[in-house]
Amino acid sequence: MASPWIAALVALFLWWFSTGAILIVVRRAGRSGQRTALAALPLLGLGLWGYLATLGEGSVAAAYLAFLSALAIWGWIELAFLTGLVTGPNLHPCPEKLPEWERFIRAWGTIAYHEMLLLFMTVALLLTGWDALNPVGHLTFVVLFAARISAKLNLYFGVPRINVEFIPEHLAHLPSHFRIARLNWLFPVSITGLSFATACWLERMAEAQSAADTVGFALLSAITALALIEHWLMVVPLPDAKLWRWMLPAPKPIQTGKTGREMTHGL
């Protein structure tokens, strides 16, 4: 388990499995999704416990547990969003031909509470783990948060491929706030930033002085590289949705309005 290759495979599997598990729960919960998210609160509690318990531990096992705990915290917040428990005050589709400032305010209103919760959790984890011996947990969450904000902004400004088949019925207003476009100014910035971050983690992994550091930076390298690939899938026409589609019940059709091409994201 101290091999960086095994750590990368673990990160890949957890990314795929966690995304699939959340999609299955949301799809099967249907209109009772908010109760399902509340029933899953122990997942958030276990994630917070695992994160705090591993801050002072410098072992390989602690690096894996910190990574898994960060994914558990992130996974519950995403479950709360997809079930409609924590979204935003705006539940209406975006009208056509609005001024850009109004379109942005409406788009922000669809996800405001979710984004504030993510920001609060990111700051809380950073403050509690800033000088900790094991930084894997909060660094994993920071990577996920930064990649998520970047992905949402790219969807807002416009990308060639957008897939809405995994969006539940109660969030069917979200695609109207997306935009299909050849490219936007933020996309090259996002790709450059994620590429640089991946290279930094790999460089630190190569210079690591302990097995725990090697595993920790391998996990961070893998999850950042996956975020980079997800960004490229906004442009490259690959059927990545098949990674999860086979395990899900047939989706109900969603009126997409201005959006209709494919793109999907993991965590």
Check: CB of residue 266 under 8 Å from CB of residue 241.
no
Mean pLDDT of 139-144: 97
Residues 6+ apart with CB under 8 A from 65: 50, 53, 54
- pLDDT tens for 182-239 read 889 999 999 999 999 999 999 999 999 999 999 999 999 999 999 999 999 999 988 7
The pTM for the full model equals: 0.91
Q: What is the pLDDT of residue 17?
A: 93
Cα dihedral 208→212→214→219 (10° resolution): -140
- pLDDT tens for 112-122 read 999 999 999 99
Q: Answer positive or negative: Cα dihedral of 97, 99, 102, 108.
A: positive
- pLDDT tens for 53-106 read 999 999 999 999 999 999 999 999 999 999 999 999 999 999 998 999 999 999
Q: Tokens standing for 8?
A: 């990368």
Q: Look at the block and give the residue holding tokens 């669809």.
A: 110
